Each structure stands twice: as C-alpha cells, then as structure tokens.
Amino acid sequence: MSPLNAVVEVRPSPIAGRWYPGDPDQLARQIDAYLAEVVLPPIEGQVLAIIAPHAGHRYSGRTAAYAFKTVVGNSYNLVAVLSPLHGYHPAALLTSAHQRYATPLGEIPIDRMAVDQLRGFLAEKGNIQLEPVAYDEEHSLEIELPFLQRILPGLFNLLPVMARSHAWQTLQVLGTGLAEIARQTSTLLVASSDLSHFYPERTAELLDQEMLERIVSLDPISVLAAESEGTGFACGAGAIAAVMAAALDLGANAAQILHHSTSADETGDLSSVVGYGSVVILKRD
C-alpha cells in the first residue's frame, strides 16, 4: 500500500472491461436489460438491505438484478457496500484509502465522515481497526457499483467495507456501527457474496438452498456456522452477517429469497459450478 498522502483521489478500476463492459453505453444497456427481465414477487415492507452476487456480470448479473430491482427509483444519501476481500491482508476489516470509486458510468464519492464515524465506533466499542487500503484489486465490492449507478436516481455517497473476518464478535460490532450511521441518514445496506464454489450442480443446489434459508431466517450466527458445518458456503459470509446484524438493529423482521442461479446457466458445465443468490431484508409493520 502506498502512503496515504500519495494515494490518487480516484480508485482506478482493475476490472472494468473484463468483469463487466468497459464501454459506458454497453454497460448501461446490459444492466438495464438484466433489470427488465426481472419479475419480482410481491415485496411487503421497507427494504433495509439487499444481498447480491459478485461474479462477472455475464455469470451473475441476472441474479444480482433481482436484488437491485427491489430499490429501483429509491433515493439514498448513503449506500454501505460490504464485501469480502479475496486477497490476503492482516486486517480484519478494510476500507478504501481513495476518495472516490470510478466505473465507466462515472465516479462515486466515498463518505469520509461516515468512514471516520465507523472507524471511531469500531475502535471504541470493540478495539477493532478499520484499515484503509489503496489500489486494491478486489472485484466483489466494485462489481455492485454500476447497478447502483443505474437504479438510483440521485447522487449518493459510498461507505465501502471489505470484511476478512468471520468472527461474530467483530461483525456484530460492525453491524451495530452501520445501524447507528443508517439512523442518521437515508441508507441502503448491500452485502456482496457468491455462494458455493466448484461443486457439481446438484450438490451446489443443496448447499446454496441451506445457506439461503439461513439468511432468510435472519440468524447471522447460523450463516457463519454453515461453512464449518459443511452445510453451506458463502465467500462473503462475514459481509452478510454484518449486514444482517445492522438490519436487525434497524428493525428487520423478514427476508425473501428472490433468485438463485449457478454458473452452469451461462457455461452449460454442470460438473463444477459457482452459486449465486439474491435476497432482500425487510422491515414489516
């Protein structure tokens, strides 16, 4: 990582043109097409959080569109996107050292006040560090941003968090801190995660269904336990658990599975697939 005072303001995208189209018009058309295909079930209640997959758009974009369709046209001052960090870093929780994220659709400002507030909360309540990282190669947070840029009508600020930790004590404090921030301004919570990796399609279906059922039961501890039990997998389980904790703190009392797919839908290879799921977390009267 470069010294913070030498970090460029705009995080350069390491995945545009590879994980999703680098041409802004093509990217916008592709996302709009995914959204147009979505037929949502009835959504009853206030949307507090969504969970969406993060593979390349050609693989998981159709499933991700279900989650994002639930908030099309809504206006938020802040969007907190939580993802895993697939590379190694010693810190449990990380955020961006840059001032803005860039995609082909434009730049999204990072809310430094929200980042600083969350950093202070984590340090005070859990002695947990929120480590800034520059020039990261992480795809799982960025991949959600073009969807947000297409569905939200106004400008919004970003609170990016990459969670390497799967420790409930850490993630619970993170969730509580996110909820405290969300009470102060209109906020959407987004967890970025794929599901099982590289199992045969039939096995993946069973593993993914178990994980999705644990998510909609609104039990973040059981989500974290699934991998050690061998009953379900999610590379972003830490991000999911923290977003669930935040949503529960804000009054969430329901969740719906919106869509599930696997990479076989794109590749036709049933022997070794990656699972993708979309979920919405709600507050109902």
pLDDT per residue as tens digits for the range 62-73: 999 999 999 999
Domains of the chain in sequence order: 15-283 (3.40.830.10)
Q: Is residue 48 within 8 Å of 189, Cβ to Cβ?
A: yes
Cα separation, 240 vs 56, in Å, equals 19
Radius of gyration of the chain (CA): 17
Q: Note the pLDDT tens digit of each residue in 225-244.
A: 999 999 999 999 999 999 99
Q: Is residue 231 within 8 Å of 210, Cβ to Cβ?
A: yes
Q: Note the pLDDT tens digit of each residue in 135-194.
A: 999 999 999 999 999 999 888 999 999 999 999 999 999 999 999 999 999 999 999 999
Q: Is residue 251 within 8 Å of 283, Cβ to Cβ?
A: yes
What average pLDDT does the structure give for the chain?
Answer: 96
